[in-house]
Amino acid sequence: MPRVPVRFRDRRDMIPRLTVRELFDQVGERMKLRWVAGQRGEQRVIEPGENLTRRPSLAGYLNVIFPNKVQIIGTEELQYLDGLDPRQRWEVIEKIINYRPAALLVTKDQPMPTDLREAANETDTPLWQSPLRGHELLTYLQYHLARALARRTTLHGVFMEVYSIGVLITGDSGSGKSELALELITRGHRLIADDAPEFTLIAPDVIDGTCPELLQDCLEVRGLGILNVREMFGDTAIKRNKYLRLVVHLQRLDGDINNQPIDRLRGDASAREVLGVDVPMLTLPVAPGRNLAVLVEAAARNHILRLKGYDPAQTFIDRQAHQLKHQRPW
């Protein structure tokens, strides 16, 4: 049966934004930045939404036609400005400033043009300088801004690494998510985040999950309270981040599990939409006597086989069809 997308309401869908001051504090040491002029523009905001329908990226070399948010001014760009007569030069600088870039960045510690510094101070446009080359600054800025401004959300559940893939365990309160996570940890798997893992869309179909700093290493189990997994089981029981590959949803049953409708060949498989990406989801009924840890391990192994192109249910169907085809007529 084809997977049917199941839509859940995320706990929090965060709109990413970054001020110039925050960006400078995050990358300033790594990129050896110096704030030369325009310090009063530190609260300018960089947001991804306004760039979705335009050609430029968030960071790029100086462009007066399709301006980027962070304009990198290298040797060629300064030579271009120096080749203009004073009137044209001022018109170009004025045009750049009027686009309200988040910041201007001069590379290789080149002499700072006086008119550019004055224009930055008059319009509160942050003007930075770095000894690094332009392509180094561009590569790191693009990577950092892509991560910092990527779409992200927080979901309710326990995020684990099981057999090298990221598995999000979800379910209603009291369904046994934390107890299951604790059992998986004792079996050698690793905890990433409990209760509120954060997920970031770092590529069109890649979702990275991590743990908020406040909840790092912690697991809350009813009756035991807060447990520090790192202190109890060691550093190998904790994983910093992992790509989300599978969702296992725990569903408590009201009646006998044998009376519940279920696809006996493929199980209760569907998909959960996370940040616009359909993530495979498997629903496991919770009932007395079921070893959920073993079932989650089997689900992870089976998912890995599917990623490699092997479908056990389809293999069984083909085998049965072959048997019927060659069966002797009565």
Dist CA 176 CA 290 (whole Å): 12
Catalytic residue of the set 144, 194, 195, 217: 195
- Among the options 7, 9, 87, 264, which is catalytic? 264
- Record the tokens describing residue 314, joined without a space: 């389809």
Catalytic position from the list 44, 177, 189, 303: 177
Instruction: For 280-326, give the DSSP string.
Output: EEEEEEE-TT--HHHHHHHHHHHHHHHHTT--HHHHHHHHHHHHHHT
173: phi > 0 → left, psi -120 to 50 → alpha, else beta; which?
beta
Phi, psi of 308 (to 5 degrees): -85, 0
Q: Is 195 a catalytic residue?
A: yes
264 is catalytic: yes
Burial of 146 (0-12, 13-18, 19+ CB in 10 A): middle
Contact 130/107 with Cβ under 8 angstroms? Answer: yes
To the nearest 10°, the Cα dihedral for 211, 212, 217, 218? -110
In sequence order, what are the beta bridge partners of 218?
A: 228
Structure tokens at 51: 């760039």
Q: Report the C-alpha gap between 153 and 274 in whole angstroms.
A: 8
**Pairing of the two strands 5-6 and 127-129:** unpaired
Contact 43, 19 (CB under 8 A): yes
Q: Could you give the CA distance from residue 220 to residue 228 in angstroms, rounded to a whole number?
A: 9
Say which of 69, 152, 156, 189 is annotated catalytic: 156
Q: Which residues are catalytic?
A: 156, 177, 195, 264
